[in-house]
Amino acid sequence: MNVNQSGLCINGVFRPGAAGRKIVQINPATEAAFAEVECAEVGDAAEAIEGASKAFEGGWRDLAPGRRAEVLFQIARLIREHVNPLAEMECRNIGKPIGDARDEVLLGARVFEYYAGGIGRFYGQTIPVAKGGFDFTWHQPMGVVAAIVPWNFPFPIACWKAAPALAAGNAVVLKPASQSPLTALALGKLALEAGLPSGVLQVLPGAGREIGEVLVTHPLVRKVSFTGSTEVGVRIMGLASSGLKRVSLELGGKSPNIIFGDSDVDKAAAGSPMSVFANTGQDCCARSRIYVERSVFDRFVEQFVAASRALVVGDPSEEKTQVGPLVSAGQRTISETFLEESSRMGRKLVCGGDRPFSKGFYLRPAVLVGVEPEDRVWREEVFGPVVCIRPFDDEAEMLREVNASPYGLSGSIWTRDLDRALRVSRLVESGVLSVNSHSSVHVEAPFGGFKMSGIGRDLGMHALEGYTELKNVFIAQN
């Protein structure tokens, strides 16, 4: 099957947008345009939402969970069958290293499998109410869910919103970012091929400010599931409030990586570069501020820098590449601006920060030391390959500084002391943490942020709660 699609996926048909506008796709590794997709207009978005609502009421909502699961398993099977074309598509579209792209496609398949299996285990309760009788709860689908996703992990995030929403019986209108619509359209195609009824999954590339806001405000949309920047998340929450729409928001981060003196410093230093430079730093979970206990600071920095220098930066279509280009020239400029500002302030760039090739939006992983807590680069999300490392002396003071961030998405703690691991895990204000590891995302576990990093949880059985309303039914007994 050819998974390349350029039309809007509305009511089972891939078709041009009403105004004939196109979104040009640029390969970040070559800076060359290589594809065009249709750009949805306001009218297209309204048609997609109305079609999704009809598909919801016309059968998907009422289909037995086991039948919905069969379709989801089928989607997963087709994703697995098409892992290579999908990975190549993502690699070309956003410069993602091909090995990572393949892993992310397979993650998407696992997400569909998880929710296909999970929906039959998403139990309600029977409640012994004081009045007697029989009282029970039902998880019911909401209706049309708008899933608005970013460009940094386009395929897995589209899957981890669509799969639980569909498993629970909702219809989904998926809006990919303009920079990365190709695998979302391919998912629309695979879902139709798998037997998902027309209209149950609509895919609409288009401008966030235009059709994104139609999705957020349209009266037929019951839930907005958004992953993207905190700035847009705040705007979406405001817009959704007048209709009291349910929202879940997965937003930005500035995650800490905390290295205690009693940890396996060699292991922490060897693994930490990819906890911030993977996906060229364009990762909401990037551990971009590293706190190292002073007793091991020099040793850690030396090893971290050596491991960062050894990363293979290059053509994302080559298997050996670990760090590809940034998604766009603009995204690279943001990182370079942070680095220029740090240089003006006399901060020390220990390695990287230069452009290794004349073509492509590449930037070599940059390591800064000597930064101060008030520096913008230490406080703000860079969303590029830039990390800062600072020493700390006192655990409590370090934790105060960690928690002073408005963000609270992810983070790592490196220590051999179990008491400390548990104490610090409890005190760090973030939704996801790993100890002696940098793993943030598990299909089976909840993922999301505290504070300005978001509201609600993706993944795990928790996500199903976010795509359902809880109904209580009481049956009187004579």
| Binding region for ligand NAD (CB under 6 A) | 148-153, 175, 177-178, 208-209, 212-213, 216, 227-229, 232, 235-236, 250-253, 284, 381, 383, 409, 449, 454
CB of 246 to ligand NAD, least distance (A): 15
Q: Which residues touch 67 (CB under 8 Å, ≥6 apart)?
A: none
Separation CA 255–CA 196 (nearest Å): 38
Minimal CA–CA distance to 18: which of 42, 53, 48, 49? 42
| Residue nearer to ligand NAD on the CB measure, 282 or 303 | 282
CB of 273 to ligand NAD, least distance (A): 19
Q: Which residues touch 290 (CB under 8 Å, ≥6 apart)?
A: 256, 257, 258, 259, 272, 276, 300, 304, 387, 388, 389, 390
Query: Active site residue: 47, 104, 113, 250, which one?
Result: 250
| Residue nearer to ligand NAD on the CB measure, 169 or 454 | 454
CB of 447 to ligand NAD, least distance (A): 7
CB of 209 to ligand NAD, least distance (A): 5
Taking a C-beta distance cutoff of 8 angstroms, is the pair 35, 26 a contact?
no
Characterize the bridge pairing of strands 386-392 and 289-293: parallel
| Residue nearer to ligand NAD on the CB measure, 232 or 326 | 232
Q: φ and ψ at 367, to 5 degrees?
A: -120, 125
The C-alpha angle with vertex 75 and arms to 72 and 76, in degrees rounded to 5, equals: 90
Q: Is 284 labeled as catalytic in the residue annotation?
A: yes
Q: Is 250 labeled as catalytic in the residue annotation?
A: yes
Query: Active site residue: 9, 39, 91, 284, which one?
Result: 284
DSSP string, 48-104: HHHHHHHHIIIIITTS-HHHHHHHHHHHHHHHHHTHHHHHHHHHHHH---HHHHHHH
Separation CA 390–CA 409 (nearest Å): 20
CB of 340 to ligand NAD, least distance (A): 21
| Residue nearer to ligand NAD on the CB measure, 212 or 391 | 212
| Residue nearer to ligand NAD on the CB measure, 176 or 316 | 176
Residues identified as active-site: 250, 284
